[in-house]
Chain A
Amino acid sequence: MNNIENSVILVVDDDHDIVNAIAALLEREGYSIRKAYNGLEAVDALMREDIQLILIDIMMPKMDGLSAMMKIRTMKNIPIIVLSAKSEDSDKILGLSMGADDYITKPYNPMELVARVQSNLRRYLSLGAADSVKKSSVLRIGGLSLDRDEKQVYIDGEPVKLTATEYKITELLMENAGRVFSAEEIYSRVWNEDSYSVENTVMVHIRHIREKIEINPGDPRYLKVVWGIGYKISRE
């Protein structure tokens, strides 16, 4: 069942209205929805049915999202997106490290929610095979990949249109994932010119790249600004 459109998504939240809203939203996109209202039901549903993606809240009665997630991870390899009102960095880190693939804070933007669901499904279903074929010319960080032969950047398998400068910046940052580059360094290495007051220029480019590769540019997943220091693409 590799068809993304026919994927079955399990929505878990103790708030029935939210479950219904998400269900309506995703059904509109053509997904089949299963509903659960606590962790136990979610685990039950997962045992009974074939489910491709889970949207799960953290704070729920009977069994909370984190416990349920740990249970699920012992059985299935499917993408799990946490949907929580907890917006702290520490909450996100906790959720992601407990086995979540993505973390969306409430109140979510419906468009973003759909985009993230699609992105996760694509990676799980379509790119799973591609993952095994490792090209040395391809740099890969999470859903972000860069093919140096094609000079092409993909986000969750979808090609992204970048200008030459933007591509060079992305390449530089991806080659040195995790390292923080100052604007001067980026400028001198990308433009091959001496830098002077280039912060603005570089920042503008970074912002453009972010707008293209990030689902939510305000809360970037890959290309991050280290305020007051520089820029980096974090190793996941």
Chain B
Amino acid sequence: MAQIACQNLTLKYDGKVILEDLNFTVRAGDYLCIVGENGSGKSTLMKTLLGLHAEYEGKLETGDGLLASEIGYLPQQTIVQRDFPASVREIVLSGCQGRCGFRPFYTKEEKNLAKRNMERMGVLEFERRCYRELSGGQMQRVLLARALCATQKALLLDEPVSGLDPKVTVEMYQLIARLNREDGITILMVSHDIAAAVKYASHILHIGETVFFGTKQEYLASGVYRKFYEAEV
């Protein structure tokens, strides 16, 4: 049973078809990279998976104990956040919001969960620091800790290394790989970085003029990869 299954999915934006007839499945523990040229519809697909964009036809199902609202999300930084006065603790704790319902305050367990996730991501020492004063890599780890508060099952990461320097980029990739390997968290990653995608992912979804979905090995042997890679280099 797949956690996420898309069948004949057609995505639209303002009534215009962006992506047609998309088929792919994600199983628990998979590491799927979604790659493609700019404007190929990566972010629309991502928003649809998160339930933020409802303009589509076809079948999009979650299963295997995963609810759509249980996909943890690591968004790209927004302009608002760049001068937002908030402590690291406040931000990580807000990841528990989804499970609160109408309850106005966080429970002890939720506070502990936030603490554990800060520890896991190595940002517990910044707990009281202001988010906007952190470095790019630290910010990403804070947002990752927040996403982990919302889910134990699947994470959707939107270009998690954009704007990071090479060393921090590698660290970030390793951190994500560890979450996937050791904690069995399903990873869906939207990425530009094709080299890292084929290095870390187990499956690749390539969207654009030609659509490809399959395991990494199949992708490497396919014409889609060669064409895309040569264009990049």
Whether A and B are associated in the same complex: the answer reads no
